[in-house]
Amino acid sequence: MSDKSHDPNQMTGAAMIVRALIDHGVTDIFGYPGGAVLPIYDEIFQQSEVQHILVRHEQGAGHAAEGYARSTGKPGVALVTSGPGATNMVTPLTDALMDSIPLVCISGQVPTHLIGNDAFQECDTVGITRPCTKHNWLVRDVNDLAKVLHEAFYVATSGRPGPVLVDVPKDVQFATGTYHPPRKSDVHRSYAPRVKGDATQIRKAVALLANAKRPVIYSGGGVINSGPEATKLLRELVEVTGFPITSTLMGLGAYPASGKNWLGMLGMHGTYEANMTMHDCDVMLCVGARFDDRITGRVDAFSPGSKKIHIDIDPSSINKNIRVDVPIIGDCGNILGDILQVFKAETKKPDIKAWWQQIAQWRARNSLYYRKSNEVILPQHAIQSLFEATRGRDTYITTEVGQHQMWAAQFFGFEEPHRWMTSGGLGTMGYGLPAAVGVQVAHPDSLVIDIAGDASVQMTMQEMSTAVQYELPIKIFILNNQYMGMVRQWQQLLHGNRLSHSYSEALPDFVKLAEAYGGVGIQVHKPGDLDGAIQEMISVKRPVLFDCRVAALENCFPMIPSGKAHNEMLLPEQANDEATAKAFAGGKALV
Amino acid sequence: MNQPASAYFIEDRHDPNETHTLSVLVQNEPGVLARVIGLFSGRGYNIESLTVSETESQKHLSRITIVTTGTPMVIEQIKHQLDRMIPVYRVVDMTQTKRSIERELAMVKVRGQGEHRVEALRLADAFRARVIDATTESFVFEITGNTDKINQYIDLMRPLGLVEVSRTGVAAIGRGPEGM
């Protein structure tokens, strides 16, 4: 028998975890120490290849890892302790599952002999996180740890990406065992996501596209997840076909907002032209999107006259909400390449001049119109100003959730993928600030801005402290209307303007708050001061809380009222009290 | 349709429900059954019957047979949702193949005397149920068959002094030489 003490692959479980991170190319992790992960923290202390960012709350670690992942295309890694550390991760794990973000969470667990004993800081972590991860593992034997860690990275990043969690009891972290580097056999034989599209289906799809009179491309986050090649191919497809393109909230940036075929975002707060094009089209090509309920409006009235092609890597996304005619399962980069190849060989090219004329009429409705004011800053104006001031810069945007998020999606133009980090599926208030921390860690020299609301930002405000500690000059651009704006909007439109608990009676002084954290606070009230204040914010090389006081009662339009179809949008110029009341006429709220 | 004021689109769905039997081949690892059941409860699917046991111990494979109901679209979803779970090897819709055999085993306890006892034995014979326990005032019958047959047998035993029933749930296998 060989002398095990000299075998470099003999190590403790804690050392294996750090070693596996290095082997998977991880350079930054986000975490919070505690009793059940102390051996891992001890290993982290004794090395310099993996940088650990200490957050102020585990939820912050999770969202920071998400921001890191979405802005780089690499998996984000979070490290938390047992019990409350793990339960605080539930929100980011669920968020990552809904938005298909590759996230690897390593959690400490009480020693194996105490599991099930209601020990101090014990919880059933794998049980709690089972429905909010793509897969999770409890490792009971140190000799299984290397295999599980490698499998975890593979599962998180392959197929439809998602969050995974590895729960490691403290005695397993202390125990010594054999480590091995990543290898193919580390993966469940039952897990084999399909990447190549079916050739027959691709030919069917091209036949539809080539004969289309009123086509539309509807792309989603899957294009961005698939990687730079998919983005390139999507842009080429738009170029070659000349088709109009719209995108979901998650897919912004895959096609540039300045591109001539761009219709703007679709869905509940999408543009009139995007939704009308979807409603009246005869062929719809859905690429890496999932017909979410914020997109479709009333399902039985969704794009009634169209043949639908759906490209998705996850077979369970096919026919879930909307019946499609040509499903193609596989990686959208791969499939877009095949479609392009077949399409280019096709002799018949669609003539869609009349369709573009129709779209131009819809565009002329100017559905993002708002009344500017010299007295008070309109939130839309604030975002437009921010966009203008950052044009041409190396900028990343994160958001919280609510009106400001929709205005950001409507008024900030994204030219590249991975530049827009927002909580789409779960709609997590408090996502943006920690996500900005993660983005800034990945891109230290870039301009990272969290477009925030005054309510959302207070949910994870403590991560300002993290930003200050690591000298991360994130900019928190707060559209402060003193309300939970989207809640207030729904209460106004649907609940007789009874503003139940949506007004923030006691907001902090954000300038003083920024200073208390050691950052910079800026406040602006007047439209005339806005541009200068934004310039000041950008030039400061420290974390900034930017308190932008905006019109309190502004509503987010256009919108598809509940129970309505894409062609029944409420446009801003129609949104007087009477029309609004009519559009939202219905019984008392039940849900 | 009178739509209540809501952030969600509330719709009535009118597709008729179907009953399907699914065979699911899984890696037998800790928590795998919880994953499958959690999927059903979490997404609001129905489980009419569930049978699970390790079938190939060397390869650590278990076979789960699930009888479920839902609209055709929901049944399709259930299959895809199961199939994308990491430890799931295969999902076969036994109902869709139309070439499957389904069996269930039940143990039925009946208490009674005199004519009821004689009648219970006579019906057991007709249904090919076996007596596996007997006292002077009771029988336990073992009966194997498809769900309908067992339901029918239990209904017949009810007036004859039915005490309790223990059922295994459905196990299903395809006809012919091929495996799943």
**pLDDT value, residue B3:** 57
| Residue among A559, A584, A158 at smallest CA distance from A331 | A158
- All residue ranges of chain A with pLDDT < 70 are 1-5, 575-591
**Range list of H helices, A26-83:** 38-45, 58-72
CATH code of residue A339:
3.40.50.1220
Task: Note whether residue B69 is domain-resident.
Answer: yes
Of A130, A188, A297, nearest to B34 by CB-CB distance is A130
**Are A147 and A215 members of one domain?**
no
Query: Of B76, B97, B118, at which residue does a domain stop?
Result: B97
C-alpha–C-alpha distance, residues A404 and A150, integer Å = 39
| 3-class SS of residue A234 | helix
**Range list of H helices, B50-144:** 72-83, 94-97, 115-126
Q: Does A533 touch chain B (CB under 8 A)?
A: no
Contacts by A259-268, CB closer than 8 A, 24 or more apart: A259/A235, A263/A216, A263/A359, A264/A368, A264/A410, A265/A409, A265/A410, A266/A218, A266/A295, A266/A566, A267/A292, A267/A294, A267/A295, A267/A297, A267/A560, A268/A294, A268/A295, A268/A297, A268/A559, A268/A560
Contact B4 A587 (CB under 8 A): yes
Active site (annotated) includes residue A170: yes
* Residue A14 near residue A42, CB atoms below 8 Å: yes
Is the pLDDT score of B1 beyond 60?
A: no
CATH code of residue B60:
3.30.70.260
Element (H, E) at B35: helix B32-42
**pLDDT value, residue A149:** 98
Task: Note whether residue A80 is domain-resident.
Answer: yes
Tokens (6 digits) for A363 = 């565009």
**Are B24 and B83 members of one domain?**
yes
Task: Note whether residue A102 is domain-resident.
Answer: yes
**B35 interaction partners in chain A (CB closer than 8 Å):** 130
Catalytic position from the list A120, A196, A349, A372: A120
Query: Of B97, B132, B166, at which residue does a domain stop?
Result: B97
What is the ipTM metric for this complex?
Answer: 0.89
Which residue of chain A is at minimal alpha-carbon distance from B91? A190
**Are B76 and B122 members of one domain?**
no
| Chain B residues with CB within 8 Å of chain A CB | 1-11, 26-27, 30-31, 34-35, 38, 42, 73, 76-77, 80-81, 83-89
Task: Note whether residue A563 is domain-resident.
Answer: no
**Are A337 and A384 members of one domain?**
no
pLDDT tens digits for range A334-360 = 999 999 999 999 877 899 999 999 999
Q: What is the mean pLDDT of chain B?
A: 93
CATH code of residue A82:
3.40.50.970
Tokens (6 digits) for A92 = 């980011």
Task: Note whether residue A236 is domain-resident.
Answer: yes
Residue environment code for B153-178, b if the CB has 16+ CB neighbours within 10 A, otherwise e: bbebbeebbbeebebbbbbbeeeeee
Total domains in the fold of chain A? 3
**Are A224 and A351 members of one domain?**
yes
Task: Note whether residue A20 is domain-resident.
Answer: yes
**Are A303 and A407 members of one domain?**
no
Q: Is the dihedral of CA A87, A92, A94, A100 positive or negative?
A: negative
**Are A313 and A358 members of one domain?**
yes
Q: What distance in Å separates residue B170's CA from the closest CA in chain A? A: 24
- The answer for A83, left when phi > 0, alpha when psi is -120 to 50, beta otherwise, is left
Where would I find the beta strands (DSSP E) of B13-99? 18-27, 49-56, 61-70, 88-93
Which residues form the domain of A464?
Answer: 379-549
**Are A209 and A169 members of one domain?**
no
Is the pLDDT score of B2 beyond 60?
A: no
Is the pLDDT score of B132 beyond 70?
A: yes
Active site (annotated) includes residue A74: no
**pLDDT value, residue A188:** 82
**pLDDT value, residue A349:** 82
**Are A234 and A351 members of one domain?**
yes
**Are A127 and A26 members of one domain?**
yes
Total domains in the fold of chain B? 2
Crossing angle for the helix pair A353-363 and A272-280, to the nearest 10 degrees: 140
- The secondary structure of residue A391, as a DSSP letter, is T
- The secondary structure of residue A55, as a DSSP letter, is -
**Are A117 and A264 members of one domain?**
no
Task: Note whether residue A582 is domain-resident.
Answer: no
Of B3, B26, B84, nearest to A563 by CB-CB distance is B3
Contact A590 B73 (CB under 8 A): no
**Are A25 and A163 members of one domain?**
yes
Nearest-10 Cα torsion for A281, A282, A285, A291: 60
Of B8, B30, B89, nearest to A293 by CB-CB distance is B8
Of B5, B81, B86, nearest to A191 by CB-CB distance is B86
**Are B148 and B106 members of one domain?**
yes
**Are B64 and B128 members of one domain?**
no
**Are A272 and A407 members of one domain?**
no
Contact B87 A190 (CB under 8 A): yes
Task: Note whether residue B134 is domain-resident.
Answer: yes
**Are B113 and B166 members of one domain?**
yes
Task: Note whether residue B109 is domain-resident.
Answer: yes
**B81 interaction partners in chain A (CB closer than 8 Å):** 316
**B80 interaction partners in chain A (CB closer than 8 Å):** 314-316, 318
CATH code of residue B116:
3.30.70.1150
**Are A155 and A63 members of one domain?**
yes
**B8 interaction partners in chain A (CB closer than 8 Å):** 293, 562, 591
* Residue B167 near residue B108, CB atoms below 8 Å: no
Q: Does A542 touch chain B (CB under 8 A)?
A: no
**Are B24 and B87 members of one domain?**
yes
- The secondary structure of residue A36, as a DSSP letter, is G
Q: SS3 sequence, A431-475? A: CHHHHHHHHHHHCCCCEEEEEEECCHHHHCHHHHHHHHHCCCCCE
Which residues form the domain of B22?
Answer: 18-97
With 0-12 / 13-18 / 19 or more C-beta atoms within 10 angstroms meaning exposed / middle / buried, residue A184 is: exposed
Of A160, A316, A586, nearest to B77 by CB-CB distance is A316
